[in-house]
Structure 1
Amino acid sequence: MTSPVPPPSPEGPWLVADIGGTNARFGLVVEPGARPAAVAVLPGAGHVGLPDAVDAYLAGHAGGARPVAACLAVAGPVNADLYRLTNTGWSGSATALGIPHVELLNDFEALALALPHLEGADLASLGGPDPAPDMVKAVLGPGTGLGVAGLVPARSGWVPVPGEGGHVSAPAVTDLEIEVIRALRADGMSFVDAEHLLSGPGLVRLRHGLGLVDGVRVEPLAAPEIVARVDDTLCARTVDVFCGLLGSFAANVALTLGAHGGVYLGGGIVPRIVRRINDSDFRRRFEANLVLSGYLTGIATTAIVAEQPALTGAAAWLAQRVADRESTLTAPGAPRSPSPSPQARSTAK
């Protein structure tokens, strides 16, 4: 983490990774400006820790090349070169990887950094105008958890802003949503936050809560089954409630960050239900603010449907590090874009 970032080459590529609670996704950048290649997804359960997963990926996919730099996006707290994944037992120091230069990011920081590099088939509109360029952007994503981050334009590139927005209060608006939360609390949940409803486990809780409200005992289903059972009335209703809550939550994020550059939705669930989101109450709920509805009407909402976008963001961060250094060397005294705080950063995913 102390050495400068050298440019990538086939013999000395950049390693980029998105390390989640279930899977570890890896790729290689072999030339400046290239998107990650040799992408592979390794199950976390098959490895004892991050160094073991990195070694396994390099042995199977790098063709003998050794990375000269790496950027790893992890779903958990980051503090300098230390990491701890929220939903697994993996923790340690990036120095154990044996790579000359390693950058650690929170996973939603990396996803935010990918936004300026996504286009065309990488994205799907969820309503509103085209995203405004060169303005603050926001990204959120329901998956294993609910991640949130911002992206702010600077003199040279973009600055990611991580946060813990997934753990704000649940964005319940309708009588039914309030009844569901009351039912879940009566059933043993002392507190219900946004992530408790807007995530994979959240879909399971929502379906259970709707059953409680209806006085119906329901057999538990996993989130993928709930999404897939489009002809099941309770599953379809669960997804509809989920989309409405997601619209209100996305509006809260947009208002908090002033995200005139658009609100982008990623994670593991949204790409599977883009059409259902567009057919739902999502966009109406996004704009439904009695004081600032016009403000929200002018903000785009967009789904990220690209494969492994966090790898693109990790590569963009290393490229920006190279650009920052070259700018400093060629123009002594020129201001540099600020770097993320070395304080602990986390978003459960």
Structure 2
Amino acid sequence: MTSEEEGLRFPILIGDVGGTNARFAIVDSPDSEAGEPRIVRTAEFATIDEAIAGSILRDAPVLPNSAVIAVAGPVDGDAIALTNCPWVVRPKGMFNSLGLSDVVVLNDFEAQALAVIALGVEHMEKIGGGTPETDAARVVLGPGTGLGVAGLIYSRGRWIPVPGEGGHMDIGPRSPRDFEIFPHLEPIEGRISGEQILCGRGLVSSYRAVAAADGKTPRFTTPAEITAAALECTDAVAEEALAFFVTCLGRTAGDLALVFKSQGGVFLTGGIAQKIVPALRESRFRAAFEDKAPHSQMMAGMPVYVITHPLAALAGLAAYARKPDQFGVATRGRRWRA
């Protein structure tokens, strides 16, 4: 075993840091479950160090020696900026500020990929398809503050998460109605990507675009309002916006399933996916997912699951912290020791 593969010293702090919320817990030993999670809004703390100290270390019965932290953004260098949050993770600084001696930083959707293995079927709701193939590749994606994506492959007896920034892939119009809606979507630097449609603000943008395409005045301003009106069938614009969102999610999930040939399953995670399960169960999601000629028959057999566990990423990180040798997580350039 190389020094990069050595396990971390317990207790281990685990953290899942998104653009809006950060979730932390402590795993005391290889045989223990993660302790009580603490959830904070990132906007309420100036730095991640302050959030950890103020939310979980202040009342912790034991202080951690090590940390495994998953962040929403690419891990490159020892000053790691988050994509949708002003925090910058500086692992070396955590040695002094938090008393840590060993810090691993992963991509947040690596943690979601680990959760696919850590969680049982009781934490998943199936959305069509057939039986997953054992040890076949899997893919996980989740609309949230942005759009997270990761793959999961099995090789040499270990599950290997494949991090990436697939949420920034372009999404374009296909149907005649799409060509009416897309000109009204809000681009970033001239592009419409998954991050512009398949996230909370993307649902709002889609709602406004549908209204603009028909010359209507939008009534709602938040994803929750739009989702509620759509599911309750009380606003036609909201209904179409959610249908558009679900169709784009199905297309993107199908594209990623093709990339990984995900016959082990496609997994949707995060609060948005959990809230729109009724819409995902309607035919348009599977129709968009499977509409990948000449491979439509293969796609029809691929199962899709919504992960219903409220803290899936923490469950994945806890599983990795307890038994890192079961996972092929590369830590070179992403692990710092005091």
* Aligned-partner Cα distance in 1 for 2:146–2:126: 23
| Aligned amino acid, residue 216 of structure 2 | V
Question: Which blocks of at least 5 consecutive residues in structure 1 are unaligned?
Answer: 325-336, 344-349
* Aligned-partner Cα distance in 2 for 1:116–1:140: 15
CA shift digits 1:66-85 (9 cap, x unpaired): 11221101112312543211
Question: Which stretch shows the higher mean deviation, 70-79 or 24-33?
Answer: 24-33
* Aligned-partner Cα distance in 2 for 1:81–1:159: 23
Write out aligned runs for 1:1-349 (5 A).
Answer: 4-6=6-8, 8=10, 13-63=11-61, 65-98=62-95, 99-184=100-185, 190-229=190-229, 230=232, 231-321=234-324, 337=328, 339=330, 342=333
CA change 1:247–1:33 in 2 (3 A) is farther
CA shift digits 1:242-282 (9 cap, x unpaired): 11111111100000111111110012310111122102400
| Aligned amino acid, residue 261 of structure 1 | G
User: CA RMSD, aligned part only?
Assistant: 2.4
- The alignment of Structure 1 onto Structure 2 pairs a total of residues equal to 325
Instruction: Give the TM-score normalised by the residue count of structure 2.
Output: 0.88
Q: Decide whether the 8 Å contact of 1:136 with 1:259 is kept in 2.
A: yes
* Aligned-partner Cα distance in 2 for 1:92–1:16: 14
* Aligned-partner Cα distance in 1 for 2:141–2:46: 29
Displacement of 1:161 after TM fit?
Answer: 0.8
CA change 1:174–1:340 in 2 (3 A) is farther
* Aligned-partner Cα distance in 1 for 2:55–2:191: 40
SS of structure 1 residue aligned to 2:179: helix
Displacement of 1:60 after TM fit?
Answer: 4.0
Question: Which blocks of at least 5 consecutive residues in structure 2 are unaligned?
Answer: none
Displacement of 1:35 after TM fit?
Answer: 3.6
- Equivalent residue, structure 2, for 1:334: none
Instruction: Give the TM-score normalised by the residue count of structure 1.
Output: 0.86
CA change 1:89–1:4 in 2 (3 A) is same
Q: Point out 4+ residue stretches in structure 1 off by more than 6 angstroms.
A: none
Q: Decide whether the 8 Å contact of 1:80 with 1:104 is kept in 2.
A: no
CA change 1:320–1:175 in 2 (3 A) is farther
* Aligned-partner Cα distance in 1 for 2:172–2:134: 28
Q: Decide whether the 8 Å contact of 1:243 with 1:281 is kept in 2.
A: yes
| Aligned amino acid, residue 105 of structure 2 | L
Q: Decide whether the 8 Å contact of 2:172 with 2:192 is kept in 1.
A: no
* Aligned-partner Cα distance in 2 for 1:317–1:171: 37
* Aligned-partner Cα distance in 2 for 1:299–1:82: 39
* Aligned-partner Cα distance in 2 for 1:80–1:105: 12
* Aligned-partner Cα distance in 2 for 1:2–1:50: 24
